[in-house]
Amino acid sequence: MTATIEPEVGKGRLRKEDERLITGRTRWTDNLTLPGLVHLAVLRSTVAHAKIVSIDTSAAKEMPGVLAVFTGDDLDPEGKIGMPCAWPITPDMKSPRRPVLAQGTVNFAGEGVAVVVARSAGEAEDALAEIDVEYEDLPVVLGLENALAEDAPLVHEDLGTNRNALWVFDSGEAGSGGNVEQAIADAEVVVKRRFRQQRLVPAFMEPRACVVDPTAAQLTMWSATQIPHILKTMSALTLGLPEHKIRVIAPDVGGGFGGKIAVLPEEIMCLLIAQKLGKPVKWTESRSETMVAAHHGRDQIQDLTIAAKRDGTVTGLKVELLADMGAYLGLVGPGVPILGAFMFNAIYKIPAYHFACTNVFTNTTLTDAYRGAGRPEATFAIERMMDELAAELGMDPMELREKNWIKHDEFPYTTVSTLTYDSGNYEAATQKAMELFGYEALRQEQRERRERNDPVQLGIGISTFTEMCGLAPSRVLGSLDYGAGGWEHAAIRMLPTGKVEVITGASAHGQGHETAWSQIVADQLGVPFEDVEVLHGDTQSSHKGLDTYGSRSLAVGGIAVVKATEKVIEKARKVAAHMMECSEDDLEFSGGKFTVKGTDRSTGIGDIALAVFAAHDLPEGVEPTLDSEAVYDPENFSFPHGTHLCATEVDTETGRVRIRSYVCVDDVGKVVNPIIVEGQMHGGLAQGIAQALYEEAVYDESGTLTSGTFADYLLPSAADLPSFTTDRTETPSTTNPLGVKGVGEAGTIASTPAVVNAVVDAVRQFGVNDIEMPLSPMRVWQAIRTGEKAAGGPGAEAGGGLGSIDPAHGGAQ
């Protein structure tokens, strides 16, 4: 046994999972095949809201290779099965039943109406065209304010309202701060703004897929999911199946971004049909289906009022949100905007705060978690607001932030929304970022360009953000009526040859857990990095877990791994003392060895593992195993923060925005692997910038998603993005033994307002104080031309929409 000298934690190791992920030579759900496997294809509604008059499946059943065609009534004759929502945010929240396939009515374009089972995927797809559905149109409910209008038609007639729930936090009532109406009434300056968070599609790389095998002892489901453990329990509850008869496997999963936190009707459908036919079944969606049927993200109207003194001291913040749930409630959909409630006050000391969110049903694809989930929306709004307040006061926007943020010596700090931030150093991150950015020189250039009326104007955008990560302390989730806890599980298996298997309840889908967990375990147990294997995503091996989302894996799951290794070491200590005939107290463990203090006598943990395996000579009463497990429930969230600075050039003749430089200094606490952190930052920045400039899910007035392909839903590539300057400060979290905070969502949360602030800053001299996202060239150009009259505000002409593949003109050579 060689002890590792250099610590693994902090080392920029290449990811051990990357070779198989990048080459694709691995096991995804869709490339799994089983004897007798049959294939499903789902017919989806082309209309947004209609009564289903009839569904004729007879011709489809006669198509080659077709084994069966099912409707919702076939699969669930009593109409009792509903997809679960695990987050009833208020006692009176309205929850429509979301069936496996539409029954009676369709409520959004893309909802499943019937399913074909065939011998091949192609035959299943061919038969879809032969199903004849007769619809009787119902009025389509689109747009948050339209849906809440007094005479609005209803998405769900039986609910009697389109209002899903109203959730309120008030610092005056909570005792965490003052009365916001008083603060506004007393304010020297009040700024009001309305922002729109456009709807986004979580464009994960691997479309969703599910295989169910009913032929083994357990009903086995493979799914491209982020949440195999939750899916197992929820499948049992949804269908009344015994939980111990279900096994769920998330094999390698190609991304999720929150879009795979779900219990899908298609997964439940696969369970039902596999059992019905006694054959293994597979469902794999096309990208076109992902776009309309997988849950979307964001989609809010945000009304903010900020109160301040003339000197820039913020005295109150009032937030009124409308949040579009779509036609049904996703697994955690209603809670997504509520997560934002704790983040509008951000890094600032705001003495009075009021938050009210109304969740609304419309005839659109449901919304749920998408990278950041509630926190990007909040961060965008407050960071935009700080720039607007600075402009109103004639202050430098960074100076305004400094005046209001929590100083590094004020931690731990309990905010107006009742969270206690354990640590942070906003000054340090900001100072580093300002130096890297060359803030003063850029301001100078901005002045010069303005003075000479340059056709290309320069703008500087700031985002000094924080986020709550490490979801989550179970008691907090309980207080928010969330349907589960927030702990995580880990186990260590010490193999006879000294190798180590780590079992984690986190479920990686691209994050690099195998590498990071191996580094942690290598340090904890003093074994080589290469000797550690990480097992995850199969409820048979990893029997307990709460999966991966909300930047929780390292800050919760990683700590569970640490706790499990500590138990291994304690067990091994007893055996080591016995082997070396000394007292346990005389032993110190370091570098994988127990050494008798003050001597050179030592025993390696691998030798102990072998001795325990043989079990020939163990101390009295000691079980022959070093294997250990731990469940860690965090006592607090973690609070990464950072300062992001963006310089944009705006071509005033065309409205085109070019990001000239982007600097971010993030503080994600202790870093296990800097390459993984860097990768998360780059990907996160790309996604956040994409919300600012490119992406938008657009519905036409009939409720058809017009941005239904990647020709219309614009994702940036590397060619569209600047070379990022990323750096870090490291203020450890004080609430976990590794000092880690989480990095999965930071870039996405921080970057959107930095970009929009920069663009608005570039054109503010034309009277512009907002431009609706995404900031398409046309919107920017129109804003410049018309100034504040037409800038911003919901309901403007949507972006996207260029379809070079036109159904009316299919001619192609």
Binding site for another protein (CB under 8 A): 121-122, 125-126, 286-288, 653-654, 656, 694, 698, 706-707, 709, 711-712, 714-717, 719-720, 776-778, 781-782, 797-813
Give counts: helices (H), strands (E), the chain.
22, 28
Is the backbone peptide bond immediately before 722 cis, with ω within 30 degrees of 0?
no
Nearer to another protein, 181 or 651 (CB): 651
565: exposed, middle or buried (Cβ count in 10 Å: 0-12, 13-18, 19+) = buried
User: Is 737 exposed, middle or buried (CB count within 10 Å of its CB: 0-12, 13-18, 19+)?
Assistant: middle
SS3 readout for 497-517: CCCEEEEECCCCCCCCHHHHH
**220 neighbors 212 (Cβ within 8 angstroms):** yes
Sign of CA dihedral 91, 92, 94, 97: positive
Q: How far is the CB of 693 from another protein (least distance, A)?
A: 8
* Three-state secondary structure string covering 581-645: CCCHHHEEEECCEEEECCCCCEEEHHHHHHHHHHCCCCCCCCCCCCCEEEEECCCCCECCEEEEE
Least Å distance, CB 796 to another protein, is 11
- State the minimum distance, in angstroms, from the CB of residue 664 to another protein: 22
Pairwise CA distance, residues 604 & 805, whole Å = 65
Token reading at 559: 């700590």
- What six digits make up the tokens of 227? 């949440």
Q: Is residue 320 within 8 Å of 329, Cβ to Cβ? A: no
Question: Nearer to another protein by C-beta: 125 or 566?
Answer: 125
If DSSP codes are grouped into helix, strand and coil, which group holds residue 171? helix
Contact 792, 194 (CB under 8 A): yes
791 burial (CB, 10 Å; 0-12 / 13-18 / 19+) is buried
Q: Which CB atom, from 217 or from 812, has the smaller least distance to another protein?
A: 812
Q: Nearest approach, Cβ of 656 to another protein (angstroms)?
A: 8
Q: Rounded to whole angstroms, how far apart are CA atoms 598 and 595?
A: 8
Cα gap 261→489, rounded to integer Å: 19
Question: Nearest to residue 381, comparing CAs of 311, 297, 460, 305?
Answer: 305
Nearer to another protein (CB atom), residue 182 or residue 704:
704
Which SS3 state, helix, strand or coil, does residue 202 take?
coil
Burial annotation 538-557 (CB, 10 A radius, 16+ → b, else e): bbeebebbbbbbbbbbbbbb
Residue whose CB is less far from another protein, 197 or 729: 197
CB of 714 to another protein, least distance (A): 5
Q: Which of 541, 436, 700 lies closest to 220 in space, CA to CA?
A: 541
Can you tell me which residue has the tokens 């049909």?
273
User: Residue 463's closest CA among 645, 307, 590?
Assistant: 645
Query: Measured from the CB atom, is 488 or 696 closer to another protein?
Result: 696
Q: What is the DSSP string of 72-84?
A: HHHH-TT------
* Largest pairwise CA distance in the chain: 87
The distance of closest approach from Cβ of residue 803 to another protein in the complex, given in angstroms and rounded to an integer, is: 8
Closer CB to another protein, 286 or 497, in the complex: 286
Task: Give min distance, CB of 122 to another protein, in A.
Answer: 5
Question: 257 or 781, CB closer to another protein?
Answer: 781
Q: CB of residue 127 vs another protein: minimum separation in angstroms? A: 11
Based on CB atoms, which residue is closest to another protein, 214 or 774?
774
CA distance 10 to 520: 10
**300-329: burial string, b at 16+ Cβ within 10 Å, e else:** bbbebbbbbeeebbbbbbbbbbbbbbbbbb
What are the CA-CA distances from residue 619 to residues 496, 585, 612 (Å)? 18, 16, 10
Taking the complex as a whole, the smallest distance from the CB of residue 347 to another protein amounts, in Å, to 32
Kindly state the smallest distance separating residue 224's Cβ from another protein, in Å. Answer: 15
Q: For another protein, give the closer residue by CB, 286 or 540.
A: 286
CB of 369 to another protein, least distance (A): 25
Cβ nearer to another protein, comparing 284 with 379: 284
Q: What is residue 461's three-state secondary structure?
A: strand
Quote the least distance from Cβ 799 to another protein, whole Å. 5
Nearer to another protein, 23 or 813 (CB): 813
Least distance in angstroms from the C-beta of 776 to another protein: 6
Smallest separation (angstroms) from another protein to the CB of 694? 6
Smallest separation, CB 255 to another protein (Å): 18
8 Å CB contact between 655 and 777: yes
Nearer to another protein, 289 or 467 (CB): 289
Looking at the Cβ atoms of 474 and 704, the one nearer to another protein is: 704
Residue 660 C-beta: closest distance to another protein, Å = 17
Any idea of the CA torsion for 265, 271, 273, 275, to the nearest 10 degrees?
-160
Q: Toward another protein, which CB reaches closer, 10 or 801?
A: 801
Alpha-carbon distance of 559 to 459, in angstroms, equals 42
Q: Residue 509 CB, nearest distance to another protein (Å)? A: 21
Complex with another protein: residue 310 or 785, whichever CB lies closer: 785
Residue 439 makes CB contacts below 8 A (sequence gap 6+) with: 398, 460, 645
Closest C-alpha to 295, from 334, 261, 335, 250: 261
Least spacing, CB of residue 44 vs another protein, in Å: 13
Nearer to another protein, 132 or 797 (CB): 797
| Nearest CB to another protein, comparing residues 118 and 327 | 118
Distance CA 324, CA 326 (A): 6
